[in-house]
Amino acid sequence: MTRRERGSQRKPGPTRGAGRIQPGTARPTRGRAENRRGRVQTQVTSSRPHHDHAATQPGAARPSHARGRAKPQPSATRQEQRRSHSPASAAVRFEARPTDERALEQCLRSEQPLQVGDWLWTMREGAERDLIEELLRYEKTALQPRRLSAALVASSRAPLDADARLDVTFARQGFLVTHIARAEAIAELAASLAPALHACLRGEKRYALQVFVPDSTAGNPLATRAEALDQALALHEASDAERIPDADLRRHGGVLIQICLLSHTTAALGCTPSDRALSLWPGGRARMKLAGDFPSRAARKLAEAFAWLGMAPGSGETCVDLGAAPGGWSWLLLERKARVIAVDPARLEPKLMQNSRLRHVQGSAFDFTPEQPVDWLLCDMAWRPLEVAQMLGRWARQRHTRMLVANFKLPMKRKVEMLERLRAVLSASGFASIRMRQLYHDREEITLTAHVR
């Protein structure tokens, strides 16, 4: 057989799986250096059934196979808050249709300011267009999104999923605006916000208060003023409710009061039950704090994905890491005492190879098949997203895994259209409870979680 004949019999797709980047595609990085200020220590529970405390994180959708304690019944005040939010967050139908470019441009150029009753959304700077395009895919004129400034978008309503939870991919955080205050002096701004703050606390036992700024070139310099506003509000927090740290809110629940400093003189306030919040980090900036010598910053990306999902691999569970090199995701899995099969043609960090719970398969992820079903499939490959989705779909059809956590690199244009196509491929393959989010540690990419039906 000639060399040409042998080459024609090769399987389509990359011959050396995970680490390759297609020609003409910008090389995505696996994480970024983070500002150490204001990091939150994250607690992630195990997915093993006997850990009953391993329920989902407040605000996270619960996979059908997960176990956890029964949720306490909400207080009357909590029920009133949810009813008061319902007109602005009623379910609307998502329509898979081409984007109306004219309507999109009008939303991006809108000069309508933020108003009480609007939903305020935060995102990474530069993703405003993506979020607006996503919101425009719902029923025509249902949400009326518009750009406010860098990293800020407003809409008249909010989309909900089948479980009545906020369902957006390109937003980090979102809340219903109940009060807007304007003042030059910090003390006056705090005094103007105080009545709305007290209204949120009526009948509540515990709460967390977050004052944050947009994650933008113009917004970040206001961080010092936001800290001063937080301190000034402490003088107005006379209430029977106990203010608790964000980490305790994740464990025990409560009401989340959010204040976004829109500019030097303007702040918007809203409150949300913690189990309905899009994120429990200020502005959705989940700065992950990891201890140890991890091989790459991609470990933070996976840690954030587990925190968002509300569950993670437990001791003794078997995980397959596709696109493992240099080993950031495998390192985090090993830290959780899981067994890891790392698949990548490139080499891993030498320290990882010394761990007896890790096996390195130095080959293509497209050619790999596990010898027996595994608990978790994890994938972070710099390759064409649809080809990766089709490969992952094979795992669901053959029931090689229970859970999926994957990171998809998005094209520069038509990102929302790509999300729809990814969801369609994976759903048709047998994955359910598909959730997608552009997390804080993501760049031109999104994180997707699902489980096999």
DSSP letter string, 98-127: ---HHHHHHHHT--PPP-TT-EEEE--TT-
- What is the tally of helices (H) and strands (E) in the chain? 12, 16
The domains of the chain, with CATH numbers, are 94-284 (3.30.2130.30), 298-452 (3.40.50.150)
**C-alpha count within 13 angstroms, C-beta hemisphere, residue 319:** 31
Confidence of residue 93 (pLDDT cuts 50, 70, 90): low
Q: 286-325: per-residue pLDDT in tens? A: 999 888 777 788 999 999 999 999 999 999 999 999 999 9
From 71, 205, 409, 413, active-site residue = 409
Tell me the C-alpha distance between 91 and 96, whole Å. Answer: 16
Task: Please name every residue paired with 174 in a beta bridge, in sequence order, or none if there are none.
Answer: 121
State the alpha helices, DSSP H only, in 336-448.
350-353, 385-397, 415-429
Q: Is 82 helix (H, G, I), strand (E, B) or coil?
A: helix
| pTM for this predicted structure | 0.79
Reply yes or no on whether the pLDDT at 144 is more than 70. yes
Average pLDDT score over residue span 211-235:
96
- Contact status, residue 302 vs residue 406, Cβ threshold 8 Å: no
Q: Which tokens belong to 208?
A: 């967390």
What's the sign of the alpha-carbon dihedral 285, 290, 296, 301?
A: negative
For range 263-280, the mean pLDDT: 95
Mean pLDDT of 222-232: 97
Q: How far is CA 349 from CA 228, 296, 307, in A?
A: 44, 9, 25
Instruction: Please return the burial class of 165, using the count of CB atoms within 10 Å of its CB with bins 0-12, 13-18 and 19+.
Output: middle
Single-letter code of the amino acid located at 377 = L
pLDDT in tens, 359-379: 999 999 999 999 999 999 999
3-state secondary structure of 74: coil
DSSP class per residue in 287-314:
-B---S--SSTHHHHHHHHHHHHT-B--
Residue pair 389/431 in contact by the 8 Å Cβ criterion? no
3-class state of residue 38 by DSSP: coil
**pLDDT tens digits along 159-172:** 887 777 888 999 99
Active site residue 301: no
Highest mean pLDDT among 17-21, 27-31, 50-54, 133-137: 133-137
Q: In terms of Cα–Cα distance, which of 324, 325, 351, 355 is closest to 339? A: 355
The model's pLDDT over 173-211, given as tens digits with 9 standing for 90+, comes to: 999 999 999 999 999 999 999 999 999 998 899 999 999
Quote the tokens at residue 442: 């993501």
What's the one-letter identity of residue 404?
Answer: L
Q: Which of 118-127, 159-168, 192-201, 405-414 has the lowest mean pLDDT?
A: 159-168
Q: Map residue 346 onto helix, strand or coil.
A: coil
Crossing angle of the two packed helices 415-429 and 385-397, in degrees rounded to 10: 20
Residue-level pLDDT at 94: 58
Lowest mean pLDDT among 134-138, 289-293, 331-335, 403-407: 289-293
Residue 166 is given by DSSP the state B
Query: What is the pLDDT at residue 379?
Result: 98
- Let me know the angle formed at the C-alpha of 284 by 280 and 290, rounded to the nearest 5 degrees: 80
How far apart CA 358 and CA 330 sit, in angstroms, is 8
